[in-house]
Amino acid sequence: MKSDAAALDAIFADTYVDTDEHSHRTDRQGVLSVLRSGDLKMESIKLSDLQVHDYGDAAIVVGNARQVGNFKGQSITATIAFTDTFIRQNGKWKAVASHRSVV
């Protein structure tokens, strides 16, 4: 919600990749650049149906999110299904991949 690039920079692995609801892939620096630009402005995000699957040094988080905001002035109002993949690296959890689809 806050577009906190510094917080996400600490969470994203160097190899992080995001696949958005339009099948566009963006690397870590691309996502952080969008957040720093101010082009993405979220008004609300409501999470639901969250599930965490723990595999030791890996974890998968699946769920839905109702999003309201805008990107470069274009309205965003959608419910998405997402899958986020994390690994434990040097004792810290790092996001390595995210994938979203419109519900």
Residue-range domains of the chain with CATH: 5-102 (3.10.450.50)
Angle at 1 between CA 65 and CA 81, to 5 degrees: 15
Q: How far is 21 from 6, CA to CA, in rounded Å?
A: 24
Question: pLDDT by residue (tens digit) across 6-43?
Answer: 999 999 999 999 999 899 999 999 999 999 999 999 99
Tens-digit pLDDT profile for residues 33-48: 999 999 999 999 999 9
- Widest Cα–Cα separation across the chain: 41
Strands (E), the chain: 12-19, 25-27, 40-54, 58-71, 74-89, 92-102
Q: What are phi and psi of 66, to 5 degrees?
A: -95, 115
